[in-house]
Structure 1
Amino acid sequence: MKTEVDYIVVGLGLAGINFVEKLQQTGKSFIVFDTGENYSSWVSGGLYNPVILKRLTLSWNAADQLERALPVYERIEKRLGKSFDLRIPVHKKFQSYEDLNNWVVACDKPHLKPYLNPTTISEAPQGVKVPFGMGQVLNTGKIDTSALMQAYAEDLFDRGLLFKERLDYDQLELDSGVNYKGITAKRIVFAEGFGLKQNPFFDSSKLKGNKGELLIIDVPDLKLDFVLKTDVFIIPLGGTRFSVGATYNWEDKTLEPTKEGRQKLLKALEKLIDLDYQVLEHRVGIRPTTADRRPLVGVHPKYTQMALLNGLGTRGVMIGPTVAHQLYEHLENGESLPQEIDIKRFYRN
């Protein structure tokens, strides 16, 4: 039996979910192909934090991205009847008195005032080492990305909208639209993350990717109800479980955990806590990142029925809803894409 839809979407990570959510919101029909191999999700803390804590600057378009992102996740929660959004504070550990003073100065900057609490914190839970204190970032939280992707995939699969298989590029037929094994669509959107490296239609050379490693630990005596951030983060996962991460490696693109990555994380962890712990898991993922730290969004230069939504990097939770909206408006209503995310920036003459 032949199927006609508006869109075929390839990939159901954060990029794919946010684009599909836009399709559902606007009544467009679609089919999704996804293998479940969302490698970047394995090292995603799922945090939405508008401040780059190392430099005490706002991340790219942070305010606009948060304003669009949070209602999207709230709508998904209501439809699926599950909770993914945990409003949890983020605390930065001060490394020195100079670090603390820099925080105080930053709190007076108009663009940072909504996001930095000027009242610093001197006390910490037992076993947490913060001799110079901490600062609290406001308007932060955590999306449980693993639970979100699992629930979203289950919902689509139950409705017959998800094929849990790898798309065979050789079976794609292109005319005025797209034909694939009896499915006819007006457009196809590739949201494959680092899987773009196997896509023959798009130049993936601008997708650099970086490998991240993350540990899941058990710390029975750690009472932490906030995210603690310094060189790494510690994120509460419930009970006595916490995630510690993550590393960044631009050279190694394997999915094998490394001794070096583990040691680096444990060394950073032991600077943060003085408690007994047990390592439960060592996770590895490849983040879809670009050299200029901006997403890859837009239409194929030759096949206009093909589009790309990729390169969300380390802040996919915040960036995803905005760029998905921008791509949709570009495809459906002819709105121009911002030059900084448009893939044309890499192939202009």
Structure 2
Amino acid sequence: MEVDYIIVGQGISGSFLSWYLIQAGKKVMVIDQPQPYTASKVASGVINPVTGRRIVSTWMIETLMPFALDAYTNMGETLGANLISQANILDFHPTPQMKLAFEERLPVENKYLRYPDNATAYEQYFNYYFGIGEINPCYLIDVNLLLDNWRKALKTQNALLEETFDINKLVIANSSPLNTHHSPLTTYNLRLTTKKLIFCDGAAGFNNPYFSLLPYAKNKGEAIITEIKDLPRNNIYKQGINIVPWKDNLWWIGSTYEWDFKDLNPTPAFRAKVEQQLSQWLKLPYTIVDHIASERPANLERRPFVGFHPKHPNIGILNGMGTKGCSLAPYFAKQLADNLVNGTPLLPQADVQRFSKVLSR
């Protein structure tokens, strides 16, 4: 069977890349073994335009945010699902110093920072002493609904192989210049032949022999899933931890950013930290129903990996989104799809060719 493109992985990146290529009339095969906990599946789904304790605008956010709004809306309309909603962050200042930091950034980041109109309305839900700031707009993506519904769509189009990709069964033809009409064919498992194979394999990319030399930074995240009755679901609540509306009327609480870890198991220390914070901050009763953890495909540069291997130009990558995957993935999936279909250039800051010397070793 010959297809135009093989995509390895059906996280947010692989889903959007396959979405755009199929929209362009291309024949695609996605290879993905279902797993309960991947970075995409346990992500909070938040698109936040500011970042860090200094409260600065995130990279390219003025381009990424409107693009993401259109992308999730359009995909949702096609799938018959509501994938994106606005859910602004209410930032409960934990100290006078953090309140002052917010006030100092307010004139600079006035496009995204403001004070909520009805701050006293939250006194029935939370204990807080130093006021509330609001980050507006923020968006919330129903990641699991997206992944599930797009997976069903791929199945109906016979465009999904539910199996673990075995790189030992990959045969790469001799390389030729990128984006020519005579690209070499790559064969996988004697069943599939393609012009281009693109890895959207998330944390598995750490061990991918074609791209393992990229400056990945292994990062573990944990989250607690809770039931909190009577807490309004139209906002995200932040004070050290984030309380985020999640699927099935539950709440996602997290997250950690662990750079030194021995395994991917949920830790008692994180659960204890969350329970202590909630006991001081939240006035409502809650029930913990799950504790999840996964490894994120972060990188040292905090810029995505997009494009094709310098020595194997029929082998590509769309990875390294880190904690900003919900905002980065749609835009750079479209960039890569346009590059494949129309030959349009990739953004240099994201193009994996910036590591051509390293990858050519």
TM (normalized to structure 2)? 0.89
Higher mean alpha-carbon deviation, 122-131 vs 305-314, is at: 122-131
Equivalent positions of 1:65-84 (< 5 A) are: 65-84=64-83
Q: CA deviation at 1:34?
A: 0.5
Q: 1:117 pairs with 109, 114, 118, which one?
A: 114
Deviations 1:206-262 (A, max 9, x none): 222211110011223534531011211001237863111111111226221111221
Q: Is 2:303 the partner of 1:305?
A: no
1:37-72 deviations in Å (ceiling 9; x for gaps): 361024311011111152211011111011211111
Tell me, in whole angstroms, the C-alpha distance in 1 between the residues paired with 2:280 and 2:245. Answer: 17
Give runs of aligned pairs for residues 170-209 of structure 1, distance below 5 A.
170-175=168-173, 176-180=184-188, 181-204=190-213, 206-209=215-218
Tell me what 2:38 maps to.
39
Residues 1:64 and 2:72 aligned together? no
Report the AA paired with residue 187 of structure 2.
N
Separation in structure 1 between the aligned mates of residue 105 and residue 13 of structure 2, nearest angstrom: 32
CA RMSD in angstroms comes to 2.1
Distance 1:53 1:224 in 2: 24
Q: CA 1:211/1:239 → structure 2, altered by over 3 Å: closer, same or farther?
A: closer
Amino acid at match of 2:148: Q
For 1:104, the equivalent position in structure 2 comes to: 103
Q: Hey, which bits of structure 1, 4+ residues long, moved more than 6 A?
A: none
Distance 1:61 1:297 in 2: 16
* 8 Å contact kept, 2:3–2:29: yes
Structure 1 counterpart of 2:164 = 166
**Residue among 7, 21, 25 paired with 2:5:** 7
Give the aligned length: 345
Match of 1:89 in 2: 88
* Candidates 300, 308, 311, aligned match of 1:291: 300
Identity %: 29
Bigger mean CA deviation after superposition, 236-245 or 291-300: 236-245
1:326 equivalent to 2:335? Answer yes
Deviation at 1:339, TM superposition (A): 3.2
In the TM superposition, residue 160 of structure 1 has moved relative to its aligned partner by: 0.9
How far is the alpha carbon of 1:322 from its aligned partner?
Answer: 1.4
Deviates more, 1:211-220 or 1:112-121: 112-121
Contact 1:89–1:140 (8 Å) recurs in 2: yes
Task: Name 2:153's counterpart in structure 1.
Answer: 155
Which piece of structure 1 moves more, 310-319 or 170-179? Answer: 170-179
Aligned: 1:279 with 2:288 = yes
Distance in 2, matches of 1:253 and 1:178, equals: 36
Q: Conserved in 1, the CA contact under 8 Å of 2:214 and 2:355?
A: no
Question: Unaligned stretches of 5+ in structure 2?
Answer: 174-183
Q: Is the 8 A contact 2:309 2:356 kept in 1?
A: no
The superposition leaves residues 8-43 of structure 1 with CA deviations (integer Å, 9 ceiling, x where unpaired) of 000000110111121022221111100123610243
Structure 1 length as normaliser, TM-score?
Answer: 0.92
Residue 125 of structure 1 deviates from its aligned partner by 4.6
Distance 2:20 2:43 in 1: 22
CA distance in 1, matches of 2:214, 2:274: 30
- Larger displacement relative to structure 2 (239-248 or 255-264): 239-248
- Label 1:120 to 1:100 Cα distance change in 2 as closer, same or farther (>3 A): farther
* Contact preservation (8 Å) 2:54, 2:101: no
User: Structure 1's 273 and 45: CA in aligned 2 closer, same or farther, altered over 3 A?
Assistant: same
